[in-house]
Amino acid sequence: MFSLAAASSPAASRAAVAVAVATSPLHLSNLLSTKISRSSYRQASLCCINIRSCSSRSSPRCVKAMAADAEIVSLPMTESHSSASRKKQALISLSDKCDLAFLGRGLHELGYTIVSTGGTANTLEAAGLPVTKVEELTSLPEMLDGRVKTLHPSIHGGILARRDQCHHMEALDKHGIGTFDVVVVNLYPFYEKVTAGGNIEFDDGIENIDIGGPAMIRAAAKNHKDVLVVVDSEDYPALLEFLKGSNEDQQFRRKLAWKAFQHCASYDSAVSEWLWRQTGGETIPPDFTIPLSLKSSLRYGENPHQKAAFYVDKRLAEVNAGGIATAVQHHGKEMSYNNYLDADAAWNCVSEFRSPTCVIVKHTNPCGVASRGDVLEAYRLAVKADPVSAFGGIVAFNVEVDENLAREIREYRSPTDGETRMFYEIVVAPKYSEKGLEVLRGKSKTLRILEASKNEREKLSLRQVGGGWLAQDSDGLTPEEIQFNAVSEAQPNESELSDAEFAWLCVKHVKSNAIVIAKNNCMLGMGSGQPNRLESLRIALRKSGEEEVKGAALASDAFFPFAWKDAVEEACESGVSVIAEPGGSIRDKDAIDCCNKYGVSLLFTNVRHFRH
C-alpha cells in the first residue's frame, strides 16, 4: 500500500505509481493487481493504491509489466481499502474442536484460506481441508513447549490492522503481512482442569493458563469492524451465514466482540480465583470477579412489570457445591423468579436436618417443619403446622421421594376441611424413584419437580445493596457445634433439650425478628419478620395453639431486650418449658429471673441467627 501526494496530471500520477511499484519492498504473497482510476483527482487529498503482488519468486519484469497497465484510483483518506486486493484469511486455533470440520468446510467453500496451529491444523487436514500453518507465516516454529505460537507481528499485525487507515495497510505491505478477516479461538481448558477430581498440581495449573489465545481474541474483538471473532462453536452457523451476505451488519460484529471479551473476562476470573487460593489467602479476597452464565430468561421478576433472568454462578467455589441453581427440573412449568427464591429457602432449610425431614416454605419462610423416622408422618405433620400457609407453597424433603410418598403428596387433603387436595408450586428432593416421579407428574401439569444436591458449607454468601455488595461466610453452624448452656435454676431434660435444638435449627431459617415453637421434632408455629420480637412471639403462640404450646420449646434468633411484661414473661405464661436464645442483652439477668419465677429452663447459645 502506498500513499502518494495528489499528482498534477494523470501522466504524472501513472509515472509515480510505476516508480513506486518497481522500487517498493511489497508483500509478494498474492498476485499483483493494481486498479487505479483516472477520475476524481480534484476531490482527492490523498491517492492510495491497493497492490496485490506476485509471489516472492516473481521477476522484476513481471512487476514492471503489470505496473505499466496500472490505473490510478483516487480515494479520500476516510474510505476503507478494498479487501478485494487481498486474499480472505481465517485464523483458527481451538482447544475444544467441536464442529471444527463443519466450520472449516464452510470457510473453505466461501473462498477463505485457513491458517491454523498445531492440533487444530492436524484436525482440519484429517478432514481433507487445505491448511496454512502459522509457522509458515511467522517463519518460526512453536517454541517453549508451545507457550509461543501466535505471539508474532505476522499474526497480530494481520488481526489489528485497520483497513481504513492507509498507514496501517502500508505497514503490512512493507513487512509482508496479510490480513485476517475471521478469527476463531477458544482457550485451554483451565476451568475444567482445576475443577476436575483431585487437587491439580500448581505447575500443571500454571501451564493450563492460556496466553496466546486471549491475546488473539482481544485483538480481533478490538478490531471487530474489520475482523469477525468467534469463541463459541454454537456461533459457527451464524458466522457462515453472515459471511455469505454483505458483511455490513455492525451489530452482529459487536455482539461477537462482546461475547469474546466476556469469554476472556470469565476465563481470567477463574485464573484469578484459583491463584488466590494458592496464596492461602482469606475466604474474602481484597478484589474478585463473579462470572455469571445465563441459565434462563424468566417471564418476569418479583412482579409482572419487572424483567428478570436467572444466572448460574460460575466461580470455582461453586463447582459441584450443590444448590438450587444446578437442580434438575423433571416436570412442570418453567421456574419463576419467586420460585427460585422459595425453592432455595426450602432446600437450604431441609438440608440442615439429618433425620428424614419435610420442610414447607411460603415466601421464603418455613411454615412447617417436621422430622420423623417415617417421612410420610413428617410430611403430614409439616402440613398440619400451618395448612393455610402450606397451600401453594414449596415442599422439600431430604430423602428420596418414592411411590408411597409421591402418592401422599398427590392425594393428601388439607387438615382445615379434610376435602381440599393440597396444592404446591414445587417439590424438591435429592432423589426420586421412577414410580415416584410418575405419580408426581400425574398430580399437576404445572407442578415443578426439582432434584437438587445438598449445598456445601463454608461458601461465600453475597448480597447486593445499592452501589455495592455484601459478602459473608454462610451461616452453617449446626446444634452439634454449639453449647446450649443452662443459665436458669431449672435444667432441661433430654427431651426438652432435643426440642430446643430442633427449634433453634428451624429459627435460623426464619426472617428476623424470628420466634419458633417446637415439640417432638415438629414445628408448631413461628412468627417472622416483625419489627419487634414481642409481636413475633404472639404470632408464633397463636399459630401453635394454646394447648399444644404447653411443654414446648421456644427458640429466638436473637436476645430478648426485655423480659418482664414482655416476650420472656408472655412465653413463660403460655406454658413453654424451655427457651433457647443467644443471650448478650444488658438485661439478661431479667430474663433469667423471669424464667426462674415460672420454672422455665433458659438456655444461652452465644450464637445469633439474624436473617434479613
Residues designated catalytic:
222, 363
d(CA 383, CA 523): 10
Instruction: Give the Cα separation of 576 and 490 in Å (integer).
Output: 13
Distances (CA, A) of 571 to 350, 511, 564, 610: 27, 19, 11, 20
Count of other CB atoms within 10 angstroms of residue 235: 19
3-class DSSP state for residue 326? Answer: helix
Q: Give per-residue burial for 438-450: e unless 16+ CB within 10 Å, then b.
A: ebbbebbeebbbb
Do 165 and 76 meet the contact criterion of CB atoms below 8 Å apart? Answer: no
**Which three three-digit cell numbers place residue 377?**
408422618
Paired residues of 473 in beta bridges: 460
Of 73, 78, 228, 101, nearest to 159 by C-alpha is: 228
Contacting residues for 61 by C-beta, under 8 A, at least 6 apart: none
- How far apart are the C-alpha atoms of 90 and 148, rounded to whole Å? 20
Residue with cell 416476650: 567
Q: In what order do the strands lie in the sheet with 448-451?
A: 328-331, 448-451, 424-429, 393-397, 357-362, 365-371, 522-527, 515-519, 553-556, 578-581, 601-604, 485-486
- Asked if 562 contacts 591 with a C-beta cutoff of 8 angstroms, the reply is no
Q: Are 242 and 109 in contact (CB under 8 A)?
A: no
Amino acid at 157: G
21-26: long-range contacts (C-beta < 8 A, 24 or more apart)?
21/51, 21/63, 21/64, 21/66, 21/67, 21/70, 22/60, 22/63, 22/64, 22/67, 24/173, 24/174, 25/174, 25/176, 26/51, 26/53, 26/173, 26/174, 26/176
Which residues make Cβ contacts (< 8 Å) with residue 333, sequence separation at least 6?
445, 446, 448
Beta strands 357-362; 393-397: pairing state: antiparallel
